[in-house]
Amino acid sequence: MFREIHIPEYFDHNAVDAVLKEADEIKSSPNKATEGIKFDFTKANFISPVGGLVVSKIASDFPEYKCLAVYQKEKEKEHIPWMMKVMGITKADETGEINEFLDKFRVPIQRCFYSSDSLKAINEKLIPIVKEKYNPSKNVLKSLNWGLWEAIDNAGVHGYGQDPSAKIKVPYPKPVTFCAWAYKDEIEIGILDSGQGIRNSFTNSGIGKYKCLSNTEALKIAIQKGETSNPENSMGFGLYGCAELARQSGGHLVIISTGNKLVLDDKGINIYDSYTYNGTIVSLCLSKKMDINLDSIFGKNSFMATEDFDDILGDYE
């Protein structure tokens, strides 16, 4: 017998709660007769990067089970959803391993175990697609390169409570996953870790001003310049940089962590209740018309983004 998790028609950050709840119900009521988990995509017309990451995370939480993706019902074979066509799935009644299904994404899910993995995923997967699709300014590429690398690496370091000052670089205890989609007018990026959550990262830091933060306060602080749970080894540019990229491009930044969701968009910054996810999920959506002012984000440290970018990626003229 297979247990089913139903993927909604439009699976973005707004639909994460329902899918996480279904997965937790399966975890809380284990059935020895369960053969595996079927992710039912038969109604899905759109899956955002965050949606793909959540599915990947849930599948990894059931290592003892076979995890399958069900794509399309036979009776609906003439109406294969747009999302399935984009991913190259055009046959009816298909079933396959979930990881093979997710690997059809425009930028397949990257599992980052070290800082170098994070940088490689951005440099070799995301940046070339952004350049090809949008012909962006060099400042846009530099900002994405540095800001996203910081955000992903911080998820691996702060998210799991590691000591970034350790002389021996240890791998992230669990991978940080990263995915992106390039649409017609925008690019959307998802980052997910399974760590301690943003609030615990701050309150466990030993820094007095963070000791009694609520979860909503921690989310607000996380996108402010220079706020970090490890000031000796981080400049606090990760989520702050992502927030500024979203603001300057007219996009959005969504952060889900430990029972709350922060949404930064053209309506301002709002925090909502969400289904409890103990790690952190980030969705960053940027308009292809974005024109980033690098100095306004990184200030006197903008030269660091420039040097890192030029050293690694070379001349983008």
pLDDT, average across residues 16-22: 94
pLDDT tens digits for range 206-238: 788 888 898 999 999 988 877 766 655 555 567
In this predicted structure, what is the pLDDT of residue 126?
78
Residue 75, token pair as written in the block: 């009776």
What mean pLDDT is reported for the chain? 77
Mean pLDDT comparison of 4-13, 59-68, 120-129, 198-207, highest-scoring range? 4-13
**pLDDT, tens only, 148-161:** 777 787 777 766 66
Longest CA–CA span in the chain (Å) reads 61
Mean pLDDT value of segment 239-251: 86
pLDDT of residue 236: 57
Q: Please, which residues have CB within 8 angstroms of residue 175's CB and are 6 or more apart in sequence? A: 111, 112, 113, 156
What is the rounded radius of gyration, in angstroms, for the C-alpha atoms of the chain?
20
Same fold, 2-102 and 108-313: no
Residue-level pLDDT at 75: 46
Predicted pLDDT of residue 68: 86
Its pTM stands at 0.84
2-102 has CATH 3.30.750 classification? yes
Cα–Cα distance between 14 and 5 in angstroms, integer?
17
pLDDT at 111: 84
**Nearest of 256, 22, 260, 282 to residue 177 by alpha carbon:** 282
Look up residue 227 and give its two tokens.
Answer: 């706020």
How many CB atoms neighbour CB 34 within 10 A? 16
Q: pLDDT band for 141, please (50, 70, 90 cuts).
A: confident
- List, for residues 255-291, the tens digit of each pLDDT value: 999 899 999 998 999 999 999 998 899 999 887 776 7
Has residue 177 got a pLDDT over 60? yes
Domain boundaries, the chain: 2-102, 108-313
pLDDT for residue 35: 82
What is the mean pLDDT of the segment spanning 55-75?
79
- The pLDDT of residue 264: 96
d(C-alpha 178, C-alpha 149), whole Å: 11
Q: Band of the pLDDT at 64, cuts 50, 70, 90? A: confident
**Residue 166 tokens, joined:** 């350790």
pLDDT band (50, 70, 90) for residue 186: confident
Strand partners, 38: 4, 68
- The reported pLDDT for the residue numbered 313 is 45
**pLDDT at 42 > cutoff 70:** yes
**How many residues does the structure list for the chain?**
317
Tokens of 101: 């299904």
Which segment of 80-84, 136-140, 280-284 scores lowest on mean pLDDT? Answer: 80-84
Class of domain 108-313: alpha beta
The pLDDT of residue 316: 41
How far apart CA 279 and CA 197 sit, in angstroms, is 4
